[in-house]
Amino acid sequence: MTQLARKLRVTDYFSLGWGAMVGVGWLVVMDDWLRRGGPLGGILGFAIGGILLLPIGYVYGKLVMAMPDASGEVAYTAKVFPRPVSFYTGWMMLLAYFIVCPWEAVAVGRIAGYIFPALNSIELYRVAGKPVYLPHLAIGLALTALVTVVNYRGIRLSATFQNWTTFGTLALFVVFVAVGVTRGSPANFPPLFTHTPLVSILLVLQVVPYYMTGYESVTKAAEEANSQFRAQGFSRAIFAAIVVGAVFYIIVIAAVGFVAPWRSLTGEPFMTAVAFERAVGSRWIVSVILSAALLSLFKVFNGNFVAASRLLFAMARRGLVDARLASVHTRNQTPAAAVVWVGVATALCMFLGSAILVPISEVGSVASATGWFAACAAYLWMRPRIADRLIALLGALVGLAMVLMKFAPFVPGHFSGWEWLALGLWIILGALIGRAFSSIAC
């Protein structure tokens, strides 16, 4: 197989897994989370979601140690299932990673507009009633170009960028939460749920797969571990990413509900920042929060960009998509063609503007859960020891339940027309590509 540069360490894998998971949802769509479930519904939704992901993380750790292949779920399912299953599993996971990139590129424009209101000008057009501003578009395109160049130049540069932004985000998060909660009160929490407790938790749990997607991106960079790396490091990085990610979301939801009467703030843009500003009574804490958000945005964009480009590269290497996407830069040892194509596609999707933010969360959740289900099913089919079979069965049931929560019409919060349209178009595109390249392979 074509060799990529082997330069990653355990810390780099944690930064990739956690960094690809936690973006700026905690700032940009906190109001959506709280409207779904309220503070306690949000806390329990992410806590339960994090616990349910642990068996899936265990399965991924076992699979990547046995098959350190950049195609991840594609390689695992290809071991036991027919080629179409392998292709569609990879195609859905590609959507899960790629879809985050334009989300973050759009979000950076919104954050910049909040910091500098003058940027909320020069409206070009509207999508679903929401304006697309020229300055927002320019900032998002500039960030997309930066991430593309960083990944084109080499995985070590990308990993260094990921490490600094990951640990910088965690440091700033500790600062603003520690300061903010000293000014809060338990009296701000009610109402604890926005619906009945069960429905509130369920509505939050439905978007958990999207906001917790990323830990399995560790497998997409498995071929780039350095020569001293031990295979058990993959599992450690995956479990650390899941646990730290769930704890991060739980703390930030609890903090927002604690520092201010959240019900009166749900219509505010960047509700998290507004809540802390009102609690502290000073603008400086908003600067800290927005700095953390920008660092977080850079890392989640970069982490998902790495995962999407590696998965696209590996699928091309297997003949599932155009083989030209499997080319490796001779000097940088990066999947150069795949990197460029992910960058170009991200830039094009940006033109849809902020109207894509919430629908993307819904579709991304299903795409991620589909890949998790397929990976667990493949491991179960490989007939490991009894204990591992039980864990894999549990993981498969969790993944399947997360898919059905969005498909079943009797479940609150199921897919609407826009989500079905987006998912349907992606599946149709995959069918066309899959048919074209299966005929070539034959």
Q: In three state form, how does the secondary structure of the chain look?
A: CCCCCCCECHHHHHHHHHHHHCCCHHHHCHHHHHHHHHHHHHHHHHHHHHHHHHHHHHHHHHHHHHCCCCCCHHHHHHCCCCHHHHHHHHHHHHHHHHCHHHHHHHHHHHHHHHHCHHHCCCEEEEECCEEEEHHHHHHHHHHHHHHHHHHHHCHHHHHHHHHHHHHHHHHHHHHHHHHHHCCCCHHHCCCCCCCCHHHHHHHHHCCHHHHHCCHHHHHHHHHHECCCCCCHHHHHHHHHHHHHHHHHHHHHHHHHHHHCCHHHHCCCCCHHHHHHHHHHCCCHHHHHHHHHHHHHHHHHHHHHHHHHHHHHHHHHHCCCCCHHHHCCCCCCCCCHHHHHHHHHHHHHHHHHHHHHHHHHHHHHHHHHHHHHHHHHHHHHHCCCCHHHHHHHHHHHHHHHHHHHHHHCCCCCCCCCHHHHHHHHHHHHHHHHHHHHHHHHHC
- Per-residue pLDDT, 179: 87
- Per-residue pLDDT, 64: 94
β-strands 130-133, 123-127: how paired? antiparallel
In angstroms, rounded to a whole number, what is the distance separating the alpha carbons of residues 202 and 134?
38
Degrees to nearest 5, angle at CA 174 with 168 and 175: 90
In angstroms, rounded to a whole number, what is the distance separating the alpha carbons of residues 296 and 91?
26
- Per-residue pLDDT, 359: 67
Cα dihedral: 420, 434, 56, 147 (round 10): -80
The number of residues in the chain equals 442
Question: pTM for the complete prediction?
Answer: 0.88
**97 close to 360: Cβ distance less than 8 angstroms:** no
Cα distances (Å, whole numbers) of residue 389 to 50, 66, 400: 20, 16, 16
Long-range CB contacts (< 8 A, 24+ apart) of 179-187?
179/280, 179/285, 180/255, 180/259, 180/275, 180/276, 180/279, 180/280, 180/285, 181/255, 181/258, 181/259, 183/259, 183/279, 183/280, 183/281, 184/255, 184/258, 184/259, 184/260, 184/279, 185/258, 186/258
Radius of gyration, CA atoms only, the chain: 21
pLDDT tens for each residue of the chain, 442 residues long? 457 878 899 999 999 999 989 888 888 888 889 999 999 999 999 999 999 999 999 999 999 999 999 899 999 999 999 999 999 999 999 988 988 888 888 888 888 888 888 888 898 888 877 888 999 999 999 999 999 999 998 888 888 999 999 999 999 999 989 888 888 889 999 999 999 999 999 999 888 887 888 899 999 999 988 888 888 999 999 999 999 999 999 999 999 999 989 888 887 878 899 999 888 888 888 888 989 988 998 999 999 999 999 999 999 998 888 888 889 888 888 899 999 999 999 999 888 877 766 666 678 788 889 999 999 999 999 988 899 999 999 999 999 998 888 888 877 777 877 788 888 888 888 888 877 665 555 4
- Per-residue pLDDT, 361: 65
**37 close to 192: Cβ distance less than 8 angstroms:** no
In angstroms, rounded to a whole number, what is the distance separating the alpha carbons of residues 268 and 131?
17
Instruction: Domains for the chain: give ranges and CATH numbers.
Output: 10-435 (1.20.1740.10)
Q: Determine if the peptide bond prior to 191 is cis (ω within 30°).
A: yes
At 366, list the tokens.
């299903």
Cα distances (Å, whole numbers) of residue 230 to 8, 83, 226: 11, 31, 9
Cα distances (Å, whole numbers) of residue 333 to 5, 219, 223: 5, 18, 12
- Per-residue pLDDT, 53: 93
In angstroms, rounded to a whole number, what is the distance separating the alpha carbons of residues 229 and 218?
13
- Per-residue pLDDT, 2: 54
- Per-residue pLDDT, 442: 44
| Residue 90 burial class via C-beta count within 10 angstroms: exposed 0-12, middle 13-18, buried 19 and up | buried
At 163, list the tokens.
């490490």
